[in-house]
């Protein structure tokens, strides 16, 4: 220490003057910490206030959903033998759920499989609304309507970093549009390609089996308009429900069951080439 003080004493006056002007480290650090804390806390407080106000009526939850869900587990059947590829479901879904009709995004769509000796061709122009006639051949040609499988073990829910998507007690995966930050993880995670970024709201969107309709005792819009009864919707907990009866008695299969997602859309007459 002595040496150091000596050094200061022996140095020229200019250096001494400069040292006097230097802010001591302790003073600098305490001031910096205070300013940093104030800088972080002040906007955080206002941010929290804004966030809380955006979740309007947060404390006023009236309906008890556990009571609504009691004894309900929704299930869906797609009968590929009946489907004629008219895409009334695609059209109805877009109108029911405000999905922009002019954009290539769909909550439900219809795929056409055409098997030839060269292999399988799959097309779904504009979600199935604009199928071209193509040549009639002797090989297998059929339609497969697709929609969210409302998996019992949903990968999309697992990957959401902000808990903006979840499975309800009656077995429907919903999106919380107010919490979704639009990171697209869920869109990547879904093995069925059932999710998309909504062009208007800019949050993840998907089929909800028309949750607003089934909550009011109606069937999903696509089931309502299907002219051939290729789509069926029912309660799997009710053993007398026609859908439950079909699942119990007929040969049904889910899509990509090997992925462990436990899809809740059951297909009748599904060919093995369908992916």
Partner 1 sequence: MIFDRGDKVTIRQEDGNPSAQAVFRIGVILVLAVVIFVIVRQMMIPASFGQYGRYRGNSISENASLNAAYAGSSNDCGECHQQEFMALAQAQHREIDCQSCHGPAAKHVSKPAVTSPIVQETAELCNSCHRQIAGRQDGKIVTVRPLLHSGGVNCTRCHNPHRPQLSFEGDKS
| Nearest distance from C-beta of residue 58 to partner 1, angstroms | 4
The C-alpha angle with vertex 83 and arms to 233 and 129, in degrees rounded to 5, equals 100
Among 105, 126, 141, 271, binds partner 1 (CB under 8 A): 141
Q: Which two tokens mark 70?
A: 């009691």
CA 105, chain centre distance (Å): 13
Rounded CA-CA distance 210/96 in Å is 8
Torsion sign over Cα 237, 239, 240, 241? positive
Residue 218 makes contact with partner 1 by CB under 8 A: yes
| Nearest distance from C-beta of residue 182 to partner 1, angstroms | 16
Residue 72 makes contact with partner 1 by CB under 8 A: no
Among 197, 224, 237, 253, binds partner 1 (CB under 8 A): 224
Residue 215 makes contact with partner 1 by CB under 8 A: yes
Residue 147 makes contact with partner 1 by CB under 8 A: no
Rounded CA-CA distance 33/76 in Å is 58
Q: Classify the phi-psi angles of 148: left when phi > 0, otherwise alpha if psi is within -120 to 50, otherwise beta.
A: beta
Which of the ranges 44-52, 100-108, 256-264, 267-275 carries the binding residues for partner 1, by CB under 8 A? 44-52
Among 31, 70, 95, 251, binds partner 1 (CB under 8 A): 95
Which of the ranges 55-63, 198-206, 247-255, 265-273 carries the binding residues for partner 1, by CB under 8 A? 55-63
Q: Which is nearer to partner 1, 31 or 163 (CB)?
A: 163
Rounded CA-CA distance 6/4 in Å is 5
Among 101, 193, 227, 260, binds partner 1 (CB under 8 A): 227
Rounded CA-CA distance 138/154 in Å is 39
Residue 45 makes contact with partner 1 by CB under 8 A: yes
């Amino acid at each position: 220490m002595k040496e150091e003080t000596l050094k200061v004493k022996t140095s020229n006056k200019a250096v001494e003057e400069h040292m006097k002007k230097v802010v001591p480290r302790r003073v600098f650090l305490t001031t910096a910490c205070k300013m940093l804390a104030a800088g972080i806390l002040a906007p955080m407080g206002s941010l929290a206030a804004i966030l809380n106000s955006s979740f309007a009526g947060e404390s006023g939850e009236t309906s008890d959903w556990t009571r609504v869900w009691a004894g309900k587990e929704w299930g869906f059947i797609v009968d590929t033998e009946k489907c004629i590829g008219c895409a009334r479901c695609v059209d109805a879904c877009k109108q029911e759920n405000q999905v922009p009709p002019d954009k290539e995004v769909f909550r439900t769509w219809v795929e056409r499989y055409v098997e030839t000796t060269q292999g399988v061709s799959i097309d779904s122009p504009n979600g199935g609304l604009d199928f071209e006639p193509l040549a009639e051949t002797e090989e297998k040609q059929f339609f497969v309507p697709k929609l969210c499988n409302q998996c019992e073990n949903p990968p999309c829910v697992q990957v959401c970093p902000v808990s903006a998507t979840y499975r309800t007690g009656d077995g429907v995966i919903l999106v919380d549009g107010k919490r979704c930050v639009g990171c697209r993880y869920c869109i990547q995670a879904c093995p069925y390609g059932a999710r998309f970024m909504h062009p208007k709201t800019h949050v993840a969107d998907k089929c909800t089996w028309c949750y607003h309709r089934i909550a009011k005792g109606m069937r999903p819009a696509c089931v309502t308009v299907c002219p051939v009864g290729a789509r069926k919707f029912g309660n799997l907990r009710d053993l007398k429900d026609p859908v439950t009866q079909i699942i119990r008695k007929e040969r049904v299969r889910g899509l990509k069951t090997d992925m462990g997602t436990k899809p809740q859309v059951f297909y009748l007459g599904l060919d093995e080439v369908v992916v």
